[in-house]
Structure 1
């Protein structure tokens, strides 16, 4: 262990504000030094898609085009071996019940877990049919202490929603020069092995075509179709970001403010290894 004989202290003023989490022992699914997550369990895992097109709160507009996103994402996740469950226009109580139920399942035979949310949003919040909520209220149910059968396994969250109302006009680039051993037990933080991929950066608008679907989900599905079983997921998300950043520009000719705007996805990762989705035997 690094610094095992030296004293460590926290970079914070005062004492920790939260109580110490209970000590939990979970079954090890991969060696501590492995560069890749173990994707050789009998099943790939469960994927939840919460698709919101209609809303009954806050005067929120219908999300035309999200059905296409949902259908395409469903197809690509099934191709990768996920057991996909789709839920449309759920209120928060029912949505939270579904998530609680899945978090309490035994995921011992699964490689990983994935949740996708397609909805309206603002900075720090997402909308269900009837109210707003924080994403943390969902992903926190899958931490290693609360869902031990997913400890040490990747937990992926995909969020297609605005994170604010700022617009990105972009910058024009001019041409220039382009310069097999036995495994020893180990401990991990309870919040390790999460990846949250947002369609846009905090504070900014997220674009959706009313016919073809959102830029982010379109790009994600295209990359999964091409590279889903060849490249690691973090690299795939990098190529998704490139697609969104380079290939898309808003088309709102009747509104000078909204016309020709850009977008860049944002990924928050607590992953400790690379994710690859090989074919199941």
Structure 2
């Protein structure tokens, strides 16, 4: 009896799998060979990355070079899990709001999205005919990878920024976005990025991931500081706080990222011969409202990527009947408001990096923010960051025959919804 033909098929080689994924991602792929004493050296060029492997023949060398590339490509090509349920689009929310306001002299129109520099741009115009004569008019720009996305982004921007809409709204009909932090059309955000690279393989990927979203997508002003000593970092923080206070009218928010080795006391700096740390309190002290009074009432978000101890966090199988626990982690609360802090892990535990993406926490933040920022505020997006980092099998691993994972956490005194808004300068 003949066997099923599918059972006779040989498994795809590593190179074939890499080649298929690279084609889907539109990444250029090329292989060079060198003859060596014991066989061949294959160099696989995958976009800007290179991977090497050796073997007794070209095929074996090529497949060995593809092993590491396959792992990295598989991670990058695996989509972030979608949020369940159907949510209203910004266009639908804006239409429903206008209907609730019942203002016949209020008009909303969209200019057809046009392609501009590799992305689509849509202009939304809101016009209010005033009873005393004349019109109030606003323009809100949306950008996206398609006409539809550009239109929705323009509606999302209008919901967050429109003074005309805000003037009509009261507590009974104010949409969610009516209680968000204000961002004027002349404003952008300011991001300070501090990265320690010593003994932290793939640390530069963290910078690239943050810059890709903060600077390239949002058009925030981004400042990168690498490997400062503690005194140098304190000076950078002081200088940044002074700049924010003196130029508060230019910025609607401040974001701070710091990536490095750490422990329960803080993040380690690179002081020679010393193991000095800078604590989160040391950082926050520069950005409280009494230090930058002109920035009072504006959101300030801090993202801390570091270990907070040496323990490995084990995973547990969820029981059939859950019981509430009374020993939840407690944080020391600062007195100032409008602050958001996101930690890559809970206190006492380790954080992890991966050669494919850099720090797992930073990668998931950038990926989820990039996808959801037009319609979702920061604290809601962080729920997805926590879920993906802690529960996605891609990021779980085994240590001493135990399954371990990473559990981010956050703390907030934000008093409004904090949306990331792309600058239209």
Q: Normalised by the shorter chain, which TM-score bucket?
A: 0.7 to 0.9
Aligned residues of 2:187 and 2:252 also touching (Cα < 8 A) = yes
Q: How does 1:1-281 map to 2 (within 5 A)?
A: 35-40=179-184, 42-54=186-198, 62-78=199-215, 79-105=217-243, 106=246, 107-130=248-271, 131-173=276-318, 191-247=336-392, 248-251=394-397, 255-256=399-400, 260-281=403-424
Aligned residue for 1:260, secondary structure, equals: strand
Aligned residues of 1:118 and 1:161 also touching (Cα < 8 A) = yes
Distance 2:265 2:241 in 1: 22
- For residues 6-36 of structure 1, give each alpha carbon's deviation from its aligned partner in whole angstroms, at most 9, with x where no partner exists: xxxxxxxxxxxxxxxxxxxxxxxx9xx9621
Aligned residues of 2:195 and 2:259 also touching (Cα < 8 A) = yes
Aligned residue for 2:212, secondary structure, equals: helix
Aligned residues of 1:47 and 1:77 also touching (Cα < 8 A) = yes
Distance 1:157 1:39 in 2: 19
Structure 1 residue 83: deviation in Å? 0.5
Distance 1:109 1:46 in 2: 9
Structure 1 residue 229: deviation in Å? 2.1
Structure 1 residue 46: deviation in Å? 1.4
CA RMSD between the two structures: 2.3
Kindly indicate whether structure 1 or structure 2 has the higher relative contact order, using CA contacts under 8 Å at least 6 residues apart.
Answer: 1
Please, which moves more after superposition, 243-252 or 140-149?
A: 243-252
Aligned residue for 1:136, secondary structure, equals: helix
Structure 1 residue 40: deviation in Å? 1.9
Aligned residues of 1:51 and 1:87 also touching (Cα < 8 A) = yes
Higher Rg: 2
Aligned residues of 2:342 and 2:409 also touching (Cα < 8 A) = yes
Aligned residues of 1:39 and 1:277 also touching (Cα < 8 A) = no
Distance 1:159 1:280 in 2: 25
Structure 1 residue 276: deviation in Å? 1.0
Q: TM-score, normalising length from structure 2? A: 0.51
Aligned residues of 1:43 and 1:81 also touching (Cα < 8 A) = no
Structure 1 residue 97: deviation in Å? 0.8
Q: More strand per residue: 1 or 2?
A: 2
Aligned residues of 2:340 and 2:414 also touching (Cα < 8 A) = yes
- For residues 103-159 of structure 1, give each alpha carbon's deviation from its aligned partner in whole angstroms, at most 9, with x where no partner exists: 012222210111100001111311111121212111111111110121000011001
Q: Give the unaligned 5+ runs of structure 1.
A: 1-29, 55-61, 177-188
Structure 1 residue 41: deviation in Å? 5.3
- For residues 154-192 of structure 1, give each alpha carbon's deviation from its aligned partner in whole angstroms, at most 9, with x where no partner exists: 01100100111122111234799xxxxxxxxxxxx9611
Aligned residue for 1:242, secondary structure, equals: helix
Please, which moves more after superposition, 128-137 or 139-148?
A: 128-137
- For residues 65-93 of structure 1, give each alpha carbon's deviation from its aligned partner in whole angstroms, at most 9, with x where no partner exists: 21111111111111123101111111111
Distance 2:278 2:226 in 1: 17
Aligned residues of 1:39 and 1:276 also touching (Cα < 8 A) = no
Q: TM-score, normalising length from structure 1? A: 0.75
- For residues 203-253 of structure 1, give each alpha carbon's deviation from its aligned partner in whole angstroms, at most 9, with x where no partner exists: 11111113421111111011011112221011111110011011144446x
**1:184 alignment counterpart:** none
Aligned residues of 1:169 and 1:260 also touching (Cα < 8 A) = yes
Distance 1:194 1:206 in 2: 23
Aligned residues of 2:360 and 2:395 also touching (Cα < 8 A) = no
